[in-house]
Every structure is written in structure tokens, then in C-alpha cells.
Amino acid sequence: MSAVISTDICIIGAGPVGLFAVFEAGLLKLRCHVVDALPQPGGQLSEIYPKKPIYDIPSYPEILAGDLIDNLMKQIEPFHPTFTLGERVERFARLDDGSFQLYTTDGTEIQCKAVAIAGGLGSFEPRKPAVESLERFEGGKGVHYMVRDPEHFRDKKIVIAGGGDSALDWTNFLANVASEVTLVHRGTTFRGAADSAEKVKTLHEAGKIKLVLSSNVTHLHGDDTLQQVTITGNNGEAETVPLDAFVPLFGLTPKLGPIGDWNLDLTDDAIVVNTEDYSTSLPGVYAIGDINTYPGKLKLILCGFHEAALMCQGAFKYIYPDKKYTLKYTTVNGAPTM
């Protein structure tokens, strides 16, 4: 069980909108803790289209999605936000004094004065392959749907399954970390980037990884923890290999997940907000970015940035009802600090 984290605003979702909210909150001297189910910040931009150029961010005629996230991370540095990544917020409770307690899948507890839900399309859930007894070995027993920390696999024998960017990238990366990496792919050609596929082939030819094509992992074996997997070829031939970890990387799909159970007003899986401050039906809880809905809503990063600014003003008033805030331009106040 992790220690309790205490902050002013807990932001659920480290997509572009959640990250920019840290900046706007920082200008108001509000501290933020950001939680995301994914192991890296950036939401859809990092997970779905990091190498795609975006053309409608003001003052950037063109910027790669991944670079936009890098810039946002740099922009919020002066405010020292803290992060819990790779954990999903499961539930929260509003206390009698109007503050909140949030709990993640891994038992992290966050105490905060306001909550900003910037959950986008929901949390990304792994696409699981249809392998019997997969679930028996989840939760630290040998099956990992994401690589949260590559060091976890140091000197371990691992089998990765998949043919997209994630499977290729992690195979290439973990070849230098794990003691043995086997990549199993059901086809003969990869969906991921051609240069990553090329690297995998080069590593295979150099004997640094094993590559098993036209095959699937079909069975998992072990008592308390995973010990072996059976790899079956499309021709029916099977072999059972010992391993420490099985990493199926078949992509992630967004699901509204637990947010749907938090008793907030919803329409079509989006949280209904008041556009004055992006407050939800529960006082002290705000929703910004793709996750909210209101008349005229546009699911655009630009709109999410605007919502983040107004949300922080609302959260400030909620946290400090007696304090007066006067808007000051950043050009007047100088470089932002906390």
C-alpha cells in the first residue's frame, strides 16, 4: 500500500487537457497531483498518434502530438506537479468538509480539496488475447498488459505477443534489459512502423531475440505464478517454453470505466458540466476536455485548454471561498513559479 498523497487539485487524466490544467492551477498557486491509467503522460496523443502532426494548436502551424506533450510537460515543470502513472482511479469519496479522498487500482490514496476529471474517452484498457487462464496470472503473477517500468523485466525471460508498434518497440527496448526476449506474432508481417520491424529482424538475425511468426501463445502454465507458455504455430505445431513474464501487447481501447459509477450527471457517457466553471453535478468536482459535454461542445485540444483555465478559477473559489482573486497576466507576473 502506497503512502497517502495530499494535494489541492487531483487531476484524473494526464492527457493534454489535464496537463494544461496543472499550469492554470499553478498560476493560482494551487498544487496538483495527476493520475493516469497509462504508464506515460499524454493521453490519446501519446497512446494513439504521437507521430502525427497537429495543425490547429494556436501559434504552432504544425506540431507533432508527442512534441506537444513534451512541451506541456516542460511548461508545467515550474509548478512541480506529482504523478501517479499506470494506475486507474477507481473510486472517490466526498468528505463532510467538502474535500475528497480518491483511491486507485493499486491502492494509492489521494487526499485533495477539489477533483478535476480530465479523463478523455475514459481510461485505456488493454485488448486481451483469448488465452485460457490469462486472468489467473494477472496482478503481478506474470501477465503484464503494459510495460510500466522496463526495469521490472531486467534479467528476466519474457515472451511478448503482438505485431503493432507497442510490441515492436518494447521488443527492441527490452532486448537490452531482459535476459531473453521472444516475440510471438500471429502473422508474418507487422502492423507497426517499418523501421521498428526492421530493428526486430536485425536483433533476431544477430541472435539477440527470438522471433516466432505465424504463431500464437495458446496456453499459460504455472501454480501461483506463471512459469511456462505454450506457443502454437498456425500449422498446429506447439512448443512449451519457460518464462518469467508474458506481455501481450495488442493495443488499448478507451472505456469510460469507473467514472460512469461516480453518480455524476452523464449524457451519452460524457459528464454534463456548467460552462461557467466546468463544474459537475457534485460540488468540488469538475470535468474538462473530451470527457465533458455541454451545448456546442467540440472535442478539441484547444477547447480543453480554455476549459482548464475556467475550471481552475472555479476550483480556486471552491477551495478558498473567502479569498478574492484578481486576474493577472503572465507577462505582468513574470516567469511562473510555485
Interacting residues with ligand FAD (CB under 6 A): 12-18, 35-38, 43-45, 48-49, 54, 56, 88-89, 118-124, 257-259, 289-290, 299-302, 304
Where residue 236 falls (left for φ over 0; alpha for ψ -120 to 50; beta otherwise) is left
Question: Which cell is 108 given?
Answer: 494509492
Could you tell me which of 250, 220, 214, 258 has the C-alpha nearest to residue 232?
214
Measured from the CB atom, the residue of 49 and 320 that comes closer to ligand FAD is 49
Nearest distance in Å: CB 289, ligand FAD: 2
Write out the DSSP string of 85-118.
Answer: ES--EEEEEE-TTS-EEEEETT--EEEEEEEEE-
SS3 153: helix
CA separation, residue 35 to residues 16, 43, 99, 105, 274 (Å): 13, 11, 17, 11, 24
Measured from the CB atom, the residue of 192 and 289 that comes closer to ligand FAD is 289
Measured from the CB atom, the residue of 191 and 299 that comes closer to ligand FAD is 299
Nearest distance in Å: CB 14, ligand FAD: 6
Q: What residue number has its CB nearest to ligand FAD? A: 120
Measured from the CB atom, the residue of 193 and 300 that comes closer to ligand FAD is 300
Nearest distance in Å: CB 68, ligand FAD: 9
Nearest distance in Å: CB 148, ligand FAD: 13
Distance CA 206, CA 193 (A): 20
Nearest distance in Å: CB 57, ligand FAD: 7
Measured from the CB atom, the residue of 209 and 301 that comes closer to ligand FAD is 301
